[in-house]
Structure 1
Amino acid sequence: MFSYNIYAQDTDQVKKRGPADDYSRSSISYLLLNFEGEKYSEELKRGIYGSIVPSKFDNNDMKQKVLKAPYYHSTTPNLKRNTEAVRRALAADLYANKVVKYWWRVRDDGSYSTDLIQKRGFYNATDIDVNEADAEKRGRAALADAGEKLIANSYVMVLDYNNVKTMTEIYDAQDAKIRKNAEKLKIEFKPVERKKNGYEGKLTAYLYKVNYSDTVQGYFMDAFTNENTLDLAKVDKIFNQVYSPFKQISTQSVKVDGTQGNPGEFLAPIVQKSKAQLMIKLVNDGIIKVINKLEKNLEAFRVKTPIVSTNPITAKIGKKEGLTHERRYFVWEYVEGNSGKTKAKRKGVIRARKVVDNRQDELGQTQSSVFYQIGGQSLEEGMTLQERKDMGIGIGGGYGGIGGLVRADINVGQWLNMPVRQFKLYIDYIFGSTDYTNVTPINSSSLEPSTMPQNGNYSENKFSIGILKEYPFARNFHAGWYVGYTGEIVTWDEETTPITERTSEQLSAGGVNWGFKLGTNLFAHNIQLIGTFGGHNYGEVTYASGIEDEENLDLGGKWVDIFPERTSSFSFDLSLRITF
């Protein structure tokens, strides 16, 4: 997936190790680039009205949702040139002025309202802000006025959906290519399976920040004719004395999907969505993917808040800030260096365990979400949490009883927003070889006897898949258990040349496996050394001769009946895992 990034030279870019020492909510609006006359342009224009703004952002729900595209689509787009073209188009449209008018609720007659500014000022306020305001003479009125500063945190995301096609069009193109190749090679044409319907495409998203500086705010204040009215002509000129009404922040490109399984397919919905609903799904799929990528790089899009207590670890954030279960946060402490300058030092890593719904909390009475620690040192109240999203995926490798192993796991609780710690799906693959003696020969009804050596080297390949539950403790350790299905395939080198043509002979068996693990962090919270002790219970062994059209043979015995040396059903392995 291609991604192109340009970051403005301001505090939005992470330019130092550690977070800024404050956080305020950002607001955002979406604008769809309209490529008039292109296929599905009308459907996209309708779809943008179903776009969703994540709860961590204030929604600048502007009436204007569409902007005329300042360039044409091409097979080799110049993203840098297009990014500048979009910025110029926004400036010419006076869109930054419209955003400011939206905040101030400016009407056509010049009258205005501060209701939205005050509401967002209160909504942005932390309990600490409330306590400080209560101690001042003006009281909580200062919180409402603080909403005016949030105008400078206004962003606009301009959306260019391109190469949008229906699944029917995609399947037709694939069939045409396959048919042409089949005719060329004079082979049978086999059409592709048509499992989905809906739309697929690409999105190029341009993110800009409204350049509402102190200078611009000063020009806006000069536009007041009295305490009830604004001079609209002056409001439209407040950005004239700055280089640009917008700061270009980032450009991202992602693939977008607005599809569903066809009736009868696996995971197909009981009630099929309409074409209009699938277009809305495509629009929102692109927006969410872009925001997820931006949150990994933009400091302004990362939630930050102080620790309230340490036993358990709590902080006054929740669904209002977009918090979900298992979301990762870094914990920072501000310390004074030798030069006398304050710097941020990372003290630990935590994940959300219990997420509260604080969207309707009373001012100054914010509920606290609960976290648990997965790495680092001892934490203290007042240290700063900084949102640092990860994928919740772990990959690793090591050595097991018969040889090498590779494994992977995925944090289901994180992906599905489930209120359970470290609940995962895992898959393991173990490979190696063993020298066996006194092997019991296979009594096969095959056209040709087995080539299994009575004494020799056998290749063994095992896999297992199942559920894994881990329990972090003592900040840098974890214990866990797992249970799942396991299978094993044993092959060997043929001692004699077979008369009948066949593929490799093999023995196989499947069953249940289980085990326990203990791990410790190495160097960082996401690098772990893990020891695993497990067992298995295989069913009967099956023999495959490798001869075409010959059925597999159930031998009616266990591995030990064939390999007398395989008396133990337990194993131990040591592996290194990296999570990201």
Structure 2
Amino acid sequence: MVKKLILSIIAVIMPISLFAQRNSKDIDETYRRSSLYSLLVNHQGRKFYEEINDCFHQIPTPDAYNDHNLSVRAVYTDSKKLKSGKDNEVDDITSFLNRNKIASRLVGKWFDYNPYTGDMDMDIVQQRGLYGATEMQRAKAAISARGSDAVLADAGEDLIGNTFVLVNDISYIDKSKGSAVLGALIQVAGAAAAASTGNSAWNKIGKDYGDIVASFKGFKVRIRTYLYQLVWDEEAQANVYNLAWNNREAFEGMRDKFKLKYIGYQESSGSTTSFLGIREDQPELMVRKACQRALDENIANLQKNFPVFQVKSPLDVETMEAKVGMKEGINEKSLFEVLERVKTSEGKIAYKKVGEVKPVKNLIWDNRYMAEEEMAQGSTLGCTTFKKVSGSDFTPGCLIRQIK
């Protein structure tokens, strides 16, 4: 056991100079993203519920998504009031989302809806859809005439319809007894490493890391993440463009007509999270790291399990680099399709598959939270390098999407 602990500490702490020296070029990240609203279910009265709440509000929206957060980011509940079992919890969460008209609030945010005057605009749609001024003028004219337009159809299919809600039920798991034992073992491992190598630094490393693990009682969380998608069908579009545009009374009267659909569920405890790089007097970082690592793991698994939630990332076709990494669940066995952005005869944006790529071994970016502080291999890369599996020459502007 001690030997394994020593090897684990050495493997994590020793920097790999090859990766530390590597610099990546800037990659153009101008592309269409899905939009995300992330909500916390926090259990008042449970241990560390205040710390969990604070750290959740510090976690930024993932780079692959547009920030579509509403003013309400947390729901507080007595854990006894939330029904046990995944299916029951889904029912409770769905009921909460419906009661609070969350779908209509998401729609309102897309059009910068003013609840006092009813005024709406297309500024966010233009910004996120990368539309030109002429295209937007035609779209606005179509709304005024209650007609159809390619931009409105395209925005509905590729933008507004890709609005998602993540409801994160985060609970602390008490592992204090086991962590005290582990903390002592790590201190012993550090002393053994110092004795065997003649380097007293290992003694201090083992003591510091052991103190952290034991003093903060092995902080660990369980995060259940529930995924919902905004329903933006023809009826919803007609309600906004034909009836409620700049009409406060009409929009307020149809809030119940906007819906969210439940997509799926993922659970993680972030059990493999290392707390190296965190001092004993920084327990708030331990909470943040445990929560963010587990939440990132859930998002990555939801992307793999539900195609509708998958994201696209720009590929630099010259260097074959992309700003994705281990946070997105990438490993040596991952496989990506390469997509070319094209415009259809109807004026909509479509994505044509032109090949496949896979990550290069030892060139996978570890972009997980605080990976650099724990000196993880690949944490300084800044991007992941890919190699072609199939396809001819890729043109600038291509995107990649994980398929395996």
Per the TM superposition, whether the score is higher than 0.5 is yes
Instruction: Tell me how far apart the structure 2 counterparts of residues 386 and 291 of structure 1 sit (CA, whole Å).
Output: 17
Q: How does 1:213-362 map to 2 (within 5 A)?
A: 213-224=233-244, 229-231=246-248, 233-238=249-254, 240-241=256-257, 245-256=259-270, 261=275, 267-269=276-278, 271-272=279-280, 274-303=282-311, 318-319=322-323, 328-330=335-337, 349-351=356-358
Instruction: Tell me how far apart the structure 2 counterparts of residues 136 and 94 of structure 1 sit (CA, whole Å).
Output: 28
- Note the C-alpha offset of 1:101: 1.8
Number of the residue aligned with 1:101: 108
Instruction: Tell me how far apart the structure 1 counterparts of residues 49 and 302 of structure 2 sit (CA, whole Å).
Output: 26
Number of the residue aligned with 1:578: none
- Note the C-alpha offset of 1:278: 2.8
- Note the C-alpha offset of 1:222: 4.8
**Cα deviation 1:455-501 (Å, max 9, x = unaligned):** xxxxxxxxxxxxxxxxxxxxxxxxxxxxxxxxxxxxxxxxxxxxxxx
Which structure has the larger Rg over C-alpha atoms? 1
- Note the C-alpha offset of 1:154: 0.8
**Would you say 1:37 and 2:53 are equivalent positions?**
no
Q: How does 1:1-400 map to 2 (within 5 A)?
A: 25-69=33-77, 72=80, 77-110=84-117, 111-122=119-130, 147=155, 149=157, 150-165=159-174, 168=176, 171=179, 196=213, 198=216, 199-224=219-244, 229-231=246-248, 233-238=249-254, 240-241=256-257, 245-256=259-270, 261=275, 267-269=276-278, 271-272=279-280, 274-303=282-311, 318-319=322-323, 328-330=335-337, 349-351=356-358, 371-373=386-388, 375-376=389-390, 379=392, 387-388=401-402
The percentage of aligned residue pairs carrying the same residue is 18
The one-letter code of the counterpart of 2:161 is A
Instruction: Tell me how far apart the structure 1 counterparts of residues 254 and 359 of structure 2 sit (CA, whole Å).
Output: 43
Number of the residue aligned with 2:194: none
- Contact 1:200–1:256 (8 Å) recurs in 2: yes
Distance 1:257 1:234, change over 3 A: farther
Instruction: Tell me how far apart the structure 2 counterparts of residues 258 and 69 of structure 1 sit (CA, whole Å).
Output: 28
Instruction: Tell me how far apart the structure 2 counterparts of residues 49 and 222 of structure 1 sit (CA, whole Å).
Output: 37
- Note the C-alpha offset of 1:274: 2.8
Q: Which runs of 5+ in 2 are unaligned?
A: 1-30, 142-148, 184-209, 341-350, 365-383
Instruction: Tell me how far apart the structure 2 counterparts of residues 135 and 101 of structure 1 sit (CA, whole Å).
Output: 22
The one-letter code of the counterpart of 1:329 is F
- SS where residue 35 of structure 1 aligns? strand
- SS where residue 173 of structure 2 aligns? strand
Distance 1:230 1:215, change over 3 A: same
- Note the C-alpha offset of 1:156: 0.6
Instruction: Tell me how far apart the structure 2 counterparts of residues 277 and 81 of structure 1 sit (CA, whole Å).
Output: 33
- SS where residue 270 of structure 2 aligns? strand
Instruction: Tell me how far apart the structure 1 counterparts of residues 274 and 387 of structure 2 sit (CA, whole Å).
Output: 37
- Note the C-alpha offset of 1:346: 8.9
- Contact 2:315–2:400 (8 Å) recurs in 1: no
The one-letter code of the counterpart of 2:63 is S
Note the aligned Cα RMSD (angstroms): 4.8
**Cα deviation 1:349-371 (Å, max 9, x = unaligned):** 4136799xxxxxxxxxxxxx984
- SS where residue 295 of structure 1 aligns? helix
- Note the C-alpha offset of 1:50: 0.7
Instruction: Tell me how far apart the structure 1 counterparts of residues 136 and 106 of structure 2 sit (CA, whole Å).
Output: 31
- Contact 2:338–2:400 (8 Å) recurs in 1: yes
- Note the C-alpha offset of 1:331: 5.2
The one-letter code of the counterpart of 2:53 is K
**Cα deviation 1:37-62 (Å, max 9, x = unaligned):** 22222222222211222211111132
- SS where residue 358 of structure 2 aligns? strand
Instruction: Tell me how far apart the structure 1 counterparts of residues 77 and 102 of structure 2 sit (CA, whole Å).
Output: 14
Instruction: Tell me how far apart the structure 1 counterparts of residues 167 and 300 of structure 2 sit (CA, whole Å).
Output: 16
**Cα deviation 1:40-95 (Å, max 9, x = unaligned):** 22222222211222211111132111124497389x94211211221111111111
- Note the C-alpha offset of 1:290: 0.6
Instruction: Tell me how far apart the structure 1 counterparts of residues 176 and 137 of structure 2 sit (CA, whole Å).
Output: 67
- Contact 1:223–1:234 (8 Å) recurs in 2: yes
More strand by share: 1
The one-letter code of the counterpart of 1:154 is T
Q: Which runs of 5+ in 1 are unaligned?
A: 1-22, 176-192, 262-266, 334-343, 356-368, 391-580
Distance 1:59 1:136, change over 3 A: closer
- Note the C-alpha offset of 1:279: 2.5
The one-letter code of the counterpart of 1:252 is Q
- Note the C-alpha offset of 1:98: 1.5
Instruction: Tell me how far apart the structure 1 counterparts of residues 315 and 232 of structure 2 sit (CA, whole Å).
Output: 31
The one-letter code of the counterpart of 2:290 is L
- SS where residue 72 of structure 1 aligns? coil
Aligned residues: 300
Instruction: Tell me how far apart the structure 2 counterparts of residues 114 and 247 of structure 1 sit (CA, whole Å).
Output: 25
- Note the C-alpha offset of 1:272: 4.9
